[in-house]
Chain A
């Protein structure tokens, strides 16, 4: 289940127990009539030294998944197993003790909120180690300096508060805080979403380097693929609380098995205009919906239907039932009834010449994509 990660000193054998195993996770938030099912039947395994990208839009449940793994939310069904311990079943003292071990750390999205604005960087990074209660002051200081060094910061930031350093540095301090307890697994919630392209790449490279030098496993949660392309070994795509696709990143990008994955790829802005498909070819417009029979349309919008059916351009009668997450190739899974057909259909739509967009040429005339090349 764990793909061999490029750059690792040795390949992890396929039957190694996973570092983190999420099993049939159901999470419901809210109470009574306001309860909503945020995650349904999520199955996930992270091996040692793996970088896994977890992708989903707002409402996909990706942040809830991170919070459930971290123990901030209790699952309605299923469990989370980390290093052999079912951490989702721990409570209070046992949970605190497990957290103090510091093997699983969370890096939050916005360092302005996740770092105490009145604490110095020194204290912030030291907090996790201090809580372990075993190191003396000298050792704590050593660990802090080491962690800061691992993210490329030197001692000069120690006495400063988060407001006194730049945004990129803040994000690195946030990562350093997680590294100070020498974790095995790092879960990063949108670590680069608030950064510009250069900083984004810098942080991603940093994470990759941490994986290589420390053997860390990293889960990167993001709403778009560009945040993890280049360093992720595997990608897991979430939509409305369900995994719709996962697999080795190269294979998924080369030939996605689920239309939503393709939609994510098609939506990503690019300077090279080298995308194969456009969002219009993958989503169902209102006009096209009008062409479908009433009964089918109602079925596709029903509670048992595939979660992506309301938007999908390729939804058919079979899609009125949620497809299971089934194997779709080696080490790949996809939840789509038509996973071997829709890509061909999409390419057909593209070939039939749906114009992607217009642009003005220098003399003020409308030009199509082709004219500009």
Chain B
């Protein structure tokens, strides 16, 4: 695995302010794989012009070359968190508290020019419906080449050539032919590959994939997951993968961050969380998630519904649906507890063991 083709952000680059206090000549290059590439710390985000706090105390980190999965029901805050990290929060949303850093640079105070620099060159993104992000009247190749010419200043010919290379790199057969096709002529899976090509075209260190496979057929979804993994292996690309489907996250991700009602309730290595989930909500998610052996399938349901966005709840926000909630869960804010190597749980009963039968629906 070669990751020495990664660019390290240059402190002298316009628009990227250095972290306060760091002297320019003592910048420590983050060693691959040990410290965070993107780090969100105690983030609080309010929506609707301050009417409701949608994200409370969200902390997560992603290292170079790591694939981190954000999983949770819709409305749980995972998409909003991604958008904050990308600097594309919807109108009316503000970051009330907390910090976001990317390779040591503070993102919360980044200027518009700073974000323009970050987008594409350091962070790429793909979303759920690729067709709506592409101009339907222009060939996909030209849309890809346009990015290269604008961001990297390549000539027309160089951009064309690089585009074809990129289309091939994302697994499209006959990339030269695909270059000249308009979005309507391509299937959903192919379009998503094109979007991924656009997202990685300027060699970012991080790719944010927000429900990127949700709208795709299952066979195509498997291929895209394979592609993301391959991109990580070949380019050291870190991926922030958001999905409501725990099974997909389990397939792809090294680490999992579980969201519920605007909070992170559990985060840790994927293997560990799948084998031994500590938070009742995570356990419930596992119960309902798809299993490979269809014969063994029982249809479980998580009873109840999550609280409305920004609801004011004392104590654990899952307590209303939790089958093992106790009085201690409702008295005050629940702090995350470390239960393993980089495995944190926001639950007062995390250390206890309880039977699977207590959880999920009757």
Contacts and interface: CB of A to CB of B under 8 A. Distances in A.
Same complex for A and B? Answer yes
Given A268-B218, A270-B250, A357-B226, A225 B294 contact: yes
Interface stretch (A74-82, A119-127, A196-204, A346-354): A196-204
A223 interface: yes
A279 interface: yes
Contacts of A58: 187-188, 217
A30 interface: no
A230 B187 contact: no
Interface in B134-176: 173
Contacts of B248: 269
A269 B229 contact: no
B217 A223 contact: yes
Given A230-B298, A279-B223, A366 B250 contact: no
Contact of B247 (A265, A269, A366): A269
A204 B67 CA distance: 32
Given A202-B301, A271-B247, A229 B218 contact: no
Contact of A263 (B219, B293, B294): B219
B219 A267 contact: yes
Interface in A252-291: 253-254, 263-275, 279, 286
A264 B342 CA distance: 35
B244 interface: yes
A359 B294 contact: no
A270 B290 contact: yes
B246 to A, nearest CB: 6
Interface stretch (B113-121, B281-289, B326-334): B281-289
Interface residues of A, number: 46
B245 interface: yes
B42 interface: no
A127 B27 CA distance: 69
Interface string B202-227: 00000000000000011111110110
A294 B151 CA distance: 43
Interface residues of B, number: 56
A249 B300 CA distance: 20
A269 B250 contact: yes
A357 B229 contact: yes
Contacts of B1: 366
B231 to A, nearest CB: 12
Contacts of A224: 217-218
A225 B251 CA distance: 17
Identify the interface centre among A266, A362, A366: most chain B CB within 10 Å of its CB: A362
A35 interface: no
B295 A197 contact: no
A307 interface: no
A269 B291 CA distance: 7
A171 B22 CA distance: 55
B47 to A, nearest CB: 18
B173 A269 contact: no
A9 interface: no
Given A198-B302, A269-B225, A366-B233, 18 more contacts: A57-B217, A58-B187, A197-B290, A201-B301, A224-B217, A249-B294, A250-B295, A267-B218, A269-B222, A269-B247, A269-B290, A274-B293, A275-B292, A357-B229, A358-B233, A360-B66, A362-B341, A364-B66
26 contacts: A57-B219, A166-B305, A197-B245, A197-B285, A197-B288, A197-B290, A224-B218, A225-B294, A249-B294, A253-B293, A253-B294, A265-B294, A267-B219, A268-B222, A269-B221, A269-B247, A269-B250, A269-B290, A270-B250, A271-B290, A279-B219, A279-B226, A286-B173, A358-B233, A364-B66, A366-B1
Interface of B: 1, 32-34, 63, 65-67, 73-74, 173, 187-188, 217-223, 225-226, 229, 233, 244-248, 250-251, 254, 269-271, 274, 284-286, 288-295, 297-302, 305, 341-342
Interface of A: 57-59, 166, 196-198, 201-202, 204-205, 223-226, 229-231, 249-250, 253-254, 263-275, 279, 286, 357-362, 364, 366, 372
